Copies of this chain bind each other. A is one copy, B any other.
Amino acid sequence: MARGRPSPAKPTETSRQRLIVAAIDLFGRRGLEATSTREIARAARVNIAGIAYHFGGKNQLYLACAEHIATTLKAGFATQMKSPAPGLTAQEQLRLTIAGVAKLMLVTPSIAPFARFVLREHMEPGPALDTLYTGVMEPMHTRLCDLWAEATGRAADSERTKLQIFGLLSQVLVFRMARAGALRRMGWDELGPREFAMILENVNESLDALIAQVGRERLT
């Protein structure tokens, strides 16, 4: 480094992206209004005025975070769900997809803050909800409903199918939204690989039980 400054002047895009990454994390943890631009700037190692320069203000930064999450995850879903993994049954694909979603939601370090942000926005809906719903929640849920329809022969867009997919998804989400209490009740100190495997196994059992139920209903 030529200068003795902390870590100044690199490409613009870096500073912009650092702001978005830091903001998603802080907004997701504390919410829009409870997070100050100073905290974000400090966490991103960017001067406070940079927020106004790059985004225009706190609210626009928040919206930019939502856009970033939506485009990132939309692309991720598109690639992940392009590969039908030939030879697998729909039920196996359903398991794999749920496992992938759970990993992103609960474990993956770079994506887990996205889930926190999305769920917080859902809890106190604002202007960014539409972006997040359309870009994240809707495609994920729809994809699962399609697989469910393929596995069971039920309609993918029926209320019942949607509810059942929400039922499966929520069993993962609860460990994102109420992690502290859930871990305490489980007697777990952390959500490590062992705990994650148990959560997933439980969801899979629930899935198998539901599909078995559907199978029995078809016989009648």
Residues of A within 8 A of B (CB): 29-34, 119-120, 122-125, 129, 132-133, 137-138, 141, 159-160, 162-164, 166-167, 169-171, 173-174, 177-182, 184-187, 198-199, 202-203, 205-206, 208-210, 212-213
**Extra 19 A-B pairs, beta carbons < 8 Å, given A133-B180, A160-B198, A166-B185:** A34-B34, A122-B181, A123-B177, A123-B178, A125-B180, A129-B180, A132-B181, A138-B185, A159-B187, A162-B185, A163-B202, A167-B206, A173-B174, A173-B177, A206-B206, A206-B210, A208-B213, A212-B212, A212-B213
In the complex the two chains form, is B202's CB within 8 Å of A164's CB?
yes
Residues from chain B with Cβ under 8 Å of A33 in the complex:
30-31, 33-34
- How many copies of this kind of chain does the complex include? 2
| A–B Cβ pairs within 8 angstroms, 11 of them | A31-B124, A122-B180, A129-B180, A137-B181, A159-B186, A162-B185, A166-B202, A167-B202, A170-B174, A209-B210, A209-B213
Q: Do residues A203 and B34 form an inter-chain contact, with CB atoms below 8 A? A: no
Q: Name the CB-closest residue of B to A184.
A: B133
A132 vs B178: C-alpha distance when bound (angstroms): 12
Across-interface contacts of A164 in B (CB, < 8 A): 202, 205-206
Closest to A180 in B: B125
Assess the A177–B180 pair: CB atoms within 8 A.
no
How far is B212's CA from A208's CA once the two chains are assembled, in angstroms?
A: 11
Residues of chain B within 8 A of A170, CB atoms compared: 170-171, 173-174
- A199 nearest in chain B by CB position: B163
